[in-house]
Amino acid sequence: MDTATAQAPAITGTKHVKFRIWRQEGPDGQGHFDEFRVPYRPGANVISCLMEIQRNPVTIDGKQVAPIIWDAACLEEVCGSCAMNINGRVRMACSALIDKVIGEGEAIITLEPMKKFPVTRDLAVDRSRMFEALKRVKGWIPVDGTHNLGPGPRQSPKEQSTMYVLSTCITCGSCVEACPQVTLENNFIGAAAISQARLFNMNPTGRMNSEERVRGIMGPGGIQDCGKAQNCVKVCPKEIPLTTSIAVMNREVTKQVVKDIFFSMGDDNQSTGGPG
C-alpha cells in the first residue's frame, strides 16, 4: 500500500493536472512555456509529475519535445537541489505535493526557474554564487589536520541545538531568490552565507577566527546590503532563523567597525585571536 496515498485528500472531478513549464536553452536563450497534462495520482509531487513527463514528453498540443531539465537528487528536502518557482513562489519541488499546490483552485501548476541565478537550461540554474559566498565567509573550522587529536571541545546541549538548526541549511538558494536586494548582476552574499558565518563563529574552535568571518561579510556585497525585507526567513524550507542570524552578525560587524575606529588596523587582535 502506498501510505502517502492513504492520507491524501481526493480531489473530486480532477483527472489530470495541467503544467505550464518554462523552457529555455542556456542563460541567454529565448524562453517560452510548454504545457503538459499529467494524470493525477494521489500523493504525487511536482517531481513525480516531471518524471511522468520524462516517460511521455508530449505537450498538450501533441508535440513531441525534449523532456524537462531540472535539478534534483534526494527528493526528501535535504540536498537542496530542486528549488524552483512553483506558481510564482520559490519552494522545493520534491516537497511540493500536488494536492497542496493546487489547493481548491484550478489544477494548473506553473513551473519557472529561479530568477536570481543564471539559467542552465529549463528549470535548472547555476547557483555558484551560493558556494562562492561560503568561501567569502570562510565557512569552515580550520582544523590542524585529519590525524587523531582526541575529542573536540565540550558543548552544552543548548549551544548544540542552536548550532544544529543553523547547520541544516541546504544551500537551496530560496532565501537569495526571495531577497529584493539580490539581482542577477549584483554580488550580495545573501542570508544563507551570513547565517553560516554566525554558525562558525558560535563554534568553540571557530570562534578563534571570528574576526575573519566578520570581515568577510563586510564591504561591497556584504551584510550592509540587506534591506531587512525579511522575505528570506519566510521562504526558508528548513525554517532557519535567518533574520536572527543577520541581526546577530550585524551587531558583530558594528562592534568590529567601532573597534577599527578606536584602534588602528592590525595592532589589536587580542580579543579575537587575530586573523588566522
Partner 1 sequence: MAAAARFTVVGGGLAGLMTTIKLAEAGHQVDILSLVPVKRSHSVCAQGGINGAVNTKGEGDHPDIHVKDTLRGGDFLAEQVSVKGMCYAAPGIIYLLDRMGVTFNRTPEGLLDFRRFGGTLHHRTAFAGATTGQQLLYALDEQVRRWEAEGRVTKYEYWEWLGMVKDGSGRCIGSAAMDLRTNEIRTLPAEAVCLATGGPGIVFGRSTNSIINTGTAAGRAFMEGALYANGEFIQVHPTSIPGEDKLRLMSESVRGEGGRVWVPKTKGDTRPPQAIPESERWYFLEERYPKYKNLVPRDVATREIFQVCREMGMGLGGQDAVYLDVTHIPAKTLDAKLKGVMEIYEKFVGDDPRNVPMKIFPGMHYSMGGLYVNFERGPNDEPLAGSPVNQSTNIPGLYAAGEADYAYHGANRLGANSLLSCIYGGMIGGPAMVAFAKNQAKSAADADNQKYFAEAKKFWEERFSGIKAMQGKENPFQLAKELGDVMTENCTVVRYNDRLKKAVERIREFKDRWKNVNALDTSTVANRHISYVNQLWNMFELAEVIAKSALLRDECRGAHYKPDFKLPEPKSKDPREDAEWMEKWRERNEKWAKLSIAKHNPEGPDISYEDLPTPVLEPEPRWYA
Closest CA relative to residue 214, chosen from 196, 190, 197, 202: 197
- Per the DSSP assignment, residues forming a β-bridge with 25 are 121
Q: Choose, by CB under 8 A, the member of 18, 37, 47, 230 that binds partner 1.
A: 47
Site membership for partner 1, residue 54 (CB under 8 A): yes
Closest CA relative to residue 192, chosen from 230, 227, 236: 236
Q: What is the CA radius of gyration of the chain?
A: 22
Site membership for partner 1, residue 30 (CB under 8 A): no
Site membership for partner 1, residue 80 (CB under 8 A): yes
Smallest gap, in angstroms, from Cβ of residue 257 to partner 1? 25
3-state secondary structure of 244: helix
Residues 4 and 23: their CA atoms lie apart, in Å, by 31
Closest CA relative to residue 50, chosen from 63, 32, 65, 69: 69
Q: What is the largest CA-CA distance in the chain?
A: 73
Site membership for partner 1, residue 208 (CB under 8 A): no
Site membership for partner 1, residue 103 (CB under 8 A): no
Smallest gap, in angstroms, from Cβ of residue 126 to partner 1? 8
Smallest gap, in angstroms, from Cβ of residue 174 to partner 1? 14
Site membership for partner 1, residue 124 (CB under 8 A): yes
- The answer to whether the beta carbons of residues 42 and 8 sit under 8 Å apart is yes
Report the site for partner 1 in 227-246 (rule: CB under 8 A): none
Task: Sketch the per residue contact string, 142 through 181, with partner 1: x for CB under 8 A, - otherwise.
Answer: xx-xx-xxxxx-xxxx--xx-xx--xx-xx----------
Counting residues that bind partner 1 (by CB under 8 A) gives 75
Site membership for partner 1, residue 2 (CB under 8 A): yes
